[in-house]
Amino acid sequence: MITRRLQYELAGRAVGPLLLTIERWQKKLKRRQPRREGPFGPPLESTQKLKELMSLHYLQGRYADGAVPVAWITSGFPVEMLRPFGFHVVYPENHGALCGARRMIPEFAEVAEKEGYSHDLCSYARGDIGSVLSGKTPVGRLPKPDMLGCCTNICQTVLYWYRSLAKYFDVPLVLIDTPYVYGESQPHHIDYVRDQLDELTVTASKITGKPANSETLHETLQLAREAAELWAACLATGKNRPSPWTGFDGFIHMAPVVAMRGTEECNAYYRMLLDELNDRIARGIGGIRNERYRLLWDNLPIWYKIRELSSTFAEAGCNFVCTTYTNVWADPAKDLDPAAPVASMARAYSNILLNRDLNNRMRIFREMVRDYQIDGVVLHSDRSCKPYSVGQIDLKRLITEELGVRTLLIEADHADPRAFSEEQVETRLQAFIEGFT
């Protein structure tokens, strides 16, 4: 136990930073060739820090089990409740996005499918289960969990997915069930979720052997709220013409607010990113070189096609200046209250985008189209994320008729390229882009 804890601390505080420093210097020595001009503006300098931050997070995680308590949780789980107990937190969805971007999901999904998991399941779930069963991962090693945390505010699939993981690892599964919100959250709904959060505290205390610490929870919630506010400020820079970055950049740079919110490292990163974005605004530097049309992306990204899609639109002068998905991680800022941590978390995590009705979705579209001066909306009908995709045909009609904005619906999968039709998507994209000229 002592040796393992020493390895964990050294990986995070000494060995990991040293290795990343050496790697950074090696890249600087190689980066003397002139950069070929393309449709994009200069790359964000913060990207290197992002890579280092997330690499260190995963590197330290290799030594977490046996050193500190480990929790695997869904992206919409109230992680702030776990930080005071010293958990090292793993997000299988975040890991799934990484696997998707590196085109490893088909290999992992096939392992899960051979074990009887349906091809119709979410590709994150199949990829994650396949990664666990095969023992393979692009991050070297994921630590064995001491508990699993699942919140139903994003979908019901996560419950069955995490049940499978809990059975495989033989560890407790903590469920936070959030009633679907029609209109506004009702007081009895918030009380119901708050009671579950109180039970989560008891369970976390039993697993770690540590008592609850209200002072540390208060500090953690302050950090989480600040992270959401900083991330919201970063996203809001896209309202400028030209936008200093792209919505596809946002998909990449959202990793810390998902996986590390509630930590000072997360907030320090977003302060740096925000400074860089504001500096680019002051100097008139855009995410793409010739921003003529401003677009909005709905739903998860197509991880294995981010670069290609971004290039296709950028070459036509089209920039995705905002996305509904990245905005999800900015929304909690208005609800989180360090003075009433549990009750405010119950409200914040109940009001997640996917846990609310289509009228709320349409309200968000109205605000984004107005505030970001949107010319067109691309809706990704995601085969794997059915809760996000349901209602998109109605939303497409309303956006066109009510807001007078051109729309495009494309069908794909956020992580599994086997569900992507190159010809069909390309034809629809070209027709959509040509409509602007």
**The domain that contains 303 carries what CATH number?**
3.40.50.11900
With respect to residue 175, please indicate whether it lies within any of the assigned structural domains.
yes
With respect to residue 387, please indicate whether it lies within any of the assigned structural domains.
yes
Query: How far, in Å, CA of 411 to CA of 265, rounded?
Result: 37
What is the pLDDT, as a whole number, of residue 341?
93
With respect to residue 158, please indicate whether it lies within any of the assigned structural domains.
yes
Proportion of the chain above pLDDT 90, given as a percent = 88
With respect to residue 33, please indicate whether it lies within any of the assigned structural domains.
no
* Structural Rg of the chain based on CA atoms: 21
Contacts with 437 (C-beta within 8 Å, 6 or more apart), sequence order: 316
Q: What domain count does the chain have?
A: 1
What is the pLDDT, as a whole number, of residue 1?
60
Proportion of the chain above pLDDT 70, given as a percent = 93
With respect to residue 90, please indicate whether it lies within any of the assigned structural domains.
yes
* More reliable by pLDDT, 18 or 361: 361
SS3 375: coil
Q: Are 173 and 162 in contact (CB under 8 A)?
A: yes
pLDDT tens-digit profile of 395-431?
999 999 999 999 999 999 999 999 999 999 999 999 9
- Domain limits for position 370: 69-434
Confidence at 331, pLDDT banded by 50, 70, 90: confident
With respect to residue 59, please indicate whether it lies within any of the assigned structural domains.
no
202: exposed, middle or buried (C-beta count within 10 Å: 0-12, 13-18, 19+)?
exposed
Mean pLDDT estimate for the chain: 92
With respect to residue 7, please indicate whether it lies within any of the assigned structural domains.
no
With respect to residue 9, please indicate whether it lies within any of the assigned structural domains.
no
Look at residues 204, 220, 66, 153 and name the one whose alpha carbon lies nearest to residue 387.
153
**With a threshold of 0.85, does the pTM exceed it?**
yes
What is the pLDDT, as a whole number, of residue 24?
60
pLDDT tens-digit profile of 248-300?
999 999 999 999 999 999 999 999 999 999 999 999 999 999 999 999 999 99
